[in-house]
Each structure stands twice: as structure tokens, then as C-alpha cells.
Amino acid sequence: MKNRVCELLNIEYPIIMGGMSWAGTPRLAAAVSNAGGLGIIGSGAMKREHLKEAIDKIRTLTNKPFGVNIILVSPYADELIDLVIEERVPVVTFGAGNPSKYMSRLKEAGIKVIPVVASDNMARMMERIGADGVIAEGTESGGHIGEVTTLVLVNAVCKAVSIPVIAAGGIADGRAMAAMFALGAEGIQMGTRFIASAEADTHENFKKLIIKSTIRDTIVTGAPLGHPARVIETRFAKKVRELETKNLQEAEEILVGSLRKAVVDGNIEEGSFMAGQCAGLINEIKPVEEIIKEVMEEFYTTIAKLCNALREWKK
């Protein structure tokens, strides 16, 4: 498949891995890149030396393009920007903030910059300052979220900008990909689907929770604290929600480190298992290559059915 996203990122399929803290490891990112998509290292709360190790590692696992996701609220954001420029990382995606102050340096270094946006106004701003594309991420996604659904957000963003739009939030298969392309998107980002893969380094407890989930088994925690995040509904998540109505300080305290406890330790009692609503559509752990192949095949099949229907309607 060839379109603007594939050409921009030099990839075979317009499928990008979400920038997931702790879960976005070099092994998983390399598997996505080797399968024809764009793997993303999730820098999360990494310090410079940890991201350097991750970049060095992925370069031993793939010779394909890859990216790094930088969370702008990280206290180490400045030094991570310096590093990706020094390392000539092909692509940088951003979350949780406005990357305006870094844009000119990244562009001068030849790095493709694709921020995550939660509104059409933010997408317009990113286009004005030189972003190569935007990731329009709806509230169905796992992790930190905005308020607008993917359906409405992608539709609005595609109307608002001329740069490529990558749809994210609640996407786990080719049918959803076809729907996003119908709205004008030219690529998709998947996170939860890749957590439930053979190459993901996430704890088996996390993968099992995704496989067992229904589409109603995620809730949003952290909203009263100013950082809402979609997670799988566990006893811990329910406890956080309850504390948010009674003791915000205690709620915030028990959330510290809870993502690592979920991803790395598989700690059901103290972990925040960030996952999108599409977890309810995922029923099996598969190799990344097989996931991408199935998504693309279903995408082509869905588009073909629509084309056939259109021909019938025109008769």
C-alpha cells in the first residue's frame, strides 16, 4: 500500500504503534517495524541514558524506520529531545503537550514530527508550526485521554488540516481502519492490540486481562486529578475511583508507579492496566506480523465490499 503516510515514514503499511510507556519496548517496536509498520519506543519517564539504551537496542533488532514517543510533561523532555536529534531518530511523536519550542530543531535535523492531538484546533496549530502529520486520538484509547470520540475527532481533524492524519483510539482491526480512512485518515495507530502480541514484553497478567475484557470493561480514572486515563476495570481501578470522591491526595499517591506495576509486574492489586475500549474486540495473542497482516487483509476486504455495494447501487 502506498499513500502519504507510507511515503512520509518510509513504511510498507500505514500502521503505527502507540507510544506506550513501559510497554513500548525496543523488542515490540522492532517487531512492528519489521512487519511493515512503524514501531515506536515509548520513552515515558525515561532519563536520557535509558532512552539511549533503548535506541541502541532497537538498532540491533531492525534496520527499518522506527520512532520515539516523548511525553512533554516529562521532567526529562529537554534532554530526550537533545538525544533524538543526536541519534537522528527517524520519527518523533509527542503526547501531553505542545511541542512548538522543539519543532524547528527537530525539523532542521531531518526528523519527521507527528504530535498527538485531541482537538481540531490543536491540529491546525501543529500544521502551522510545521508538523509532518498529526495523530488524532479519541477518548476510546487506552492511557491518558481527551473527551472527544475517535469518530468525531478524526472527522473534524481531517477537515481542518491538509497534512496526513493518523487515526487512533479504539482501533484494533481492519474494519475500524476502513472506517477511519472513510473519514479522511491515511493511517492508524494501535496500542492495545500490540500489547496483546507475542512480542510484547508486558506481563502475561496484562495480556490475559485484555483477552478476557468486553467492550464495557474499561473505566476512566484520574479525571478529578487533572489527568484522566482509561484503564481496565480491576479492584484497584475501582478503589481509585472511590478515593477520587473522598480523598484526592490518597488517590494520587496510590497511582504513583501504578503503570509500571501493571506492565512490568502484572500486579493486579496495585497496577493501572491502561487499555482502550477495543480490548473487548481482542480475543487472541498473536505475533505482530500476523496482526498487521490480518488488519490489512480485513481492511482491503472491507473496502472491496463497499466498492461492490457502490457498483450495485449505481445500476
Confidence (pLDDT) at 153: 98
pLDDT band for position 1 (cuts 50, 70, 90): confident
pTM for the model stands at 0.94
Tens of pLDDT, residues 300-309: 999 999 998 8
Contacts (Cβ under 8 Å, ≥6 apart) of 182: none
Confidence of residue 297 (pLDDT cuts 50, 70, 90): very high
Which tens digits make up the pLDDT trace of 219-255? 999 988 888 999 999 999 999 999 998 888 888 889 9
- Cα(314)–Cα(136) distance, integer angstroms: 33
Q: What residue ranges define each of the domains in the chain, with the CATH number in brackets? A: 4-201+284-314 (3.20.20.70), 204-278 (no CATH)
- How far is the C-alpha of 264 from the C-alpha of 255, rounded, in Å? 15
Q: Given this model, what pLDDT does residue 2 score?
A: 86
Q: What is the pLDDT of residue 189?
A: 97
Q: Is residue 253 within 8 Å of 240, Cβ to Cβ?
A: no
- pLDDT tens-digit series, residues 248-287: 888 888 999 999 999 999 999 999 999 999 999 999 999 9
Q: Give the separation between CA 127 and CA 302, rounded to whole angstroms.
A: 31
In DSSP terms, 166 is beta-bridged to 135, 187
